[in-house]
Amino acid sequence: MTMKKILLWMMLATWVAMSYAFAQESSGYKDVIVKEDFNFSAYLKEWWKVYMTWNSISKFSDSAFKYYKVIRSSTNSNPTYPEDGYITFSEDKEGFTSYTDEKAPTWKNYYRVCAIMQDNNRYCSPVKQIDITNVWTTQPPSTQTKETSATYSDVISKEEFNFIADFKEDGKVYMSWIPISKFNDWAFKYYKIVRSSTNSNPRYPEDGYIKYSEDKESFISYVDENPPSGTNYYRLCAIMQDNTRYCSLTKQVNVIKNTAKTFTNQTTTNTGNTQSTPTKTKIELSINSKTILDNWVSSYIKKLNEKYGENFATINSKVQETISKLEKLKTQKTHLTKYIDYIIDKLSESTWLDDISNILNEV
């Protein structure tokens, strides 16, 4: 027998022995039990690295637990251990909760984590598919074509954002919200503020965005400096690394832009000459602001009536004291002038109405 044939027979014998050993090993394992509790996540970052995270399942007792196996396959969409091998393992039941595959093959890859027990029970996460086809020639996301909704999950609405959007007298829309702390740093990608003049249920990427930020905790407000006139719909969306979309409730904002400035001519006598002098620009309050201020005044008057009854002299005295305090405040907080003037007018109006009521009651 030639040396070449001997080598071939040795290779064949080795392959048969390995196959037998593998068959023996895999046959000793129980059927895979899929556990959603792992909350297994896998996402592509930095073009070719696959980041994975999961929750350790505390109900696995230390005595029963053997090790974790992180599995990857480019051919089997339902990979398991030991049938598909593994790329890393750990015996740390509590601390081993993440792994980065820094050399993922350029293809469709299927990932999952499995917890193997001493009795060879196999508890595995659901499988995550990562597609990194042609990743080495792909341009960064910022230079690629516009994203489409096909790559995103359905929108999950979250009231916890407490999203607020208000149109102010300066012609801007002010927005604020509360960040949701349960978004883990590794899962969070960025916020997108969405605005639409046609879609009452806007979302990203279908309706584009006007602002975005990767600051998960500190990005809690934004001002739309130049909103379109008419009805606009605003929404905040938090986008995850796996393209899950958590969006706030939509806020409808009516933008009314009034660029006209009102002037009144005032004729004064100066050494026999008549001249026209424009007064200060009059800026009207929005309907929303007037409603809020009216409610404040009504509540204030109601409290006075409940406390002093029909003692109109005392009520009028208290109103005058309040007006004096507001006048003083106006000199200190000039930016509140238009609001204070409106309240003073309403308070003065209430005293006039009381005077009229008193007269009518005497008849």
Give the ranges where the chain is alpha helix by DSSP (H): 3-27, 287-308, 312-332, 337-362
Q: Across the strands, what pairs with 115?
A: 68, 123
Instruction: Give the least confident one: 24-33, 218-227, 295-304.
Output: 24-33
Task: Write the pLDDT tens digit of every residue in 92-148.
Answer: 988 898 998 887 776 788 999 999 999 999 999 999 988 765 433 333 333 333 455
Q: What is the pLDDT of residue 25?
A: 47
Chain centroid offset of residue 168 CA? 23
Q: Where are the domains of the chain?
A: 26-131, 147-255, 281-362
Q: Which CATH class is domain 147-255?
A: mainly beta
Q: What is the percent of the chain where pLDDT is above 90? A: 28
CA dihedral 238, 242, 244, 248 (to 10 degrees): 0
Rounded distance between C-alpha atoms, residue 330 and residue 146, angstroms: 51
Instruction: Give the least confident one: 11-15, 123-127, 199-203, 273-277.
Output: 273-277
DSSP string for 250-265 = PEEEEE------B--E
Amino acid at 42: A
Q: What is the pLDDT of residue 300?
A: 83
Using an 8 Å Cβ cutoff, are 122 and 65 in contact? no
Query: pTM here?
Result: 0.37
Q: Which CATH class is domain 26-131?
A: mainly beta
Q: What is the percent of the chain where pLDDT is above 70? A: 74
Peptide bond into 105 cis (omega under 30): no
How much is the average pLDDT of 232-259? 89
> Comparing 26-131 with 147-255, is the CATH topology the same?
yes
Task: Write the pLDDT tens digit of every residue in 264-310.
Answer: 333 333 334 434 334 334 446 676 677 778 778 877 877 887 888 77
Q: Which of 41-55, 145-159, 162-176 is most confident?
A: 162-176
